[in-house]
Amino acid sequence: MTHPYAAQADEHQELEWLGGGVMRVLLDGERTGGRLAMFRSQAPAGAASPAYVHAREDEIFVLLEGSAIFWIGDERYEADAGSVAFLPRGVPHAYRITEDADLFAVSTPAGLENFFRGAGHDLSMPRPEGFVVTPATMAAAAAANGQAILGPPLPADGVLPRAGSEAVGEPYVARAGAHETLEWIGGGLMRILLTAEHTAGQLAMFRSSAPAGAASPVYAHSREDEIILLLRGGGVFWAGAHRFELAAGGLVFVPRGVPLAYRITADAEMLALTTPGGLESFFRTVGRDVREPRPDGWAIDYALMGEASAATGQTVLGPPLETGDMIPAHALRD
């Protein structure tokens, strides 16, 4: 059984990683019941992974800042900030950072954290003299965790070697301007980065902006776990009987069945993930597609939100909370 979990930016495990960058382990399988693991890395220009392939996990990348080249199977993609890539297990891939980057990643199921911990250096421990992450040091950790290193990092015009493995699913790649965008709570924007269709039903991912004062009702998922990473700004997040005040870099994990809510206290940007996928239909029903003309006086219809919630296995349990409130006892019992 999983339980709510939250951490501030300075509470994530930090590992020295490629090119002397830093890899943060945001969530591991112990927290998520093995469903997924989540990472965020700061990588300098020139940092590059070896060519590799997963046998056990699908992997997702979101380039939050900077630019990079991704090789995925036979394709080569030049990615800018806001780009997303879904890589099914069995697909060879690699990347090279071309501008200092902030890179968010997810593996599903969990387990990839053991590879990073095995190949990286925990920055809370004394640094071994001369430590550096190389393809050679990654090979043993990869072999122990169901991965195969196929070759060294690629030059910008390189080509991936053949893996001889069979992909389980189709890769999906989209740049920032290709994401479906909806007007959302408080006049903020909700971008749909990944859907159940893209991920074979495993998860959906969203990126939203919200002004100070924007607040969700108290609600609960019957089908999905929800994870929210606060990219900038601040907010109060409730999960069951817990109340968390989070700043940029903070994260909250809320298992299905646990009531949750949030109130934004400083203009914010959030990355949210739900597993399994499917919640995108809720957002599409309640939000407004910004490609369409905006009706006069349009605003979120909370009655429609209640109907859409019921249709997608959610329950609205109460109105938005004020910052000092707690989720009412009756909502925790329902």
Q: H-type helices in the chain, by residue range?
A: 29-32, 112-119, 135-144, 280-286, 302-311, 329-333
Grade residue 238 by pLDDT with cuts at 50, 70 and 90.
very high
The overall average pLDDT reported for the chain is 94
Task: Considering only residues 134 and 40, tell me which one the structure prediction assigns the higher pLDDT.
Answer: 40
Chain mean position to CA 117: 19
Mark residue 156 as left, alpha or beta (left: phi above 0; alpha: psi -120 to 50; beta: remaining).
alpha
**131: buried, middle or exposed (CB in 10 Å: 19+, 13-18, 0-12)?**
exposed
Distance separating alpha carbons of residues 262 and 254, to the nearest angstrom? 12
DSSP codes of every residue in 8-44: -GGGSEEEE-GGG-EEEEEE-HHHHTTS-EEEEEEE-
Question: Does an H or E element contain 81, and which?
Answer: none
Distance separating alpha carbons of residues 103 and 224, to the nearest angstrom? 25
Q: Which pLDDT value is given to residue 88? A: 95
Q: Which pLDDT value is given to residue 161? A: 85
Cross-strand partners of 38 = 27, 106
Is residue 95 helix, strand or coil? Answer: strand
pLDDT digits (tens, 9 = 90+) for 146-170: 899 999 999 999 999 876 667 778 9
Q: Which domains does the chain have, with CATH numbers?
A: 5-174 (2.60.120.10), 179-333 (2.60.120.10)
Residue type, position 293, single letter: P
pTM over 0.85? The answer is yes
Q: Which pLDDT value is given to residue 137? A: 83
Q: Give the CB-side neighbour count of residue 234, counting CA atoms within 13 A.
A: 7
Name residue, tokens 């989540």: 38
Q: Which pLDDT value is given to residue 228? A: 98
Distance separating alpha carbons of residues 144 and 132, to the nearest angstrom? 19
Q: Which pLDDT value is given to residue 186? A: 87
Average pLDDT over residues 73-88: 96
pLDDT at 135 over 80: no
Q: Is the preceding omega at residue 126 within 30 degrees of 0, hence cis?
A: no
Distance separating alpha carbons of residues 194 and 84, to the nearest angstrom? 8
Other Cβ atoms closer than 10 A to 69: 19
**74: buried, middle or exposed (CB in 10 Å: 19+, 13-18, 0-12)?**
exposed
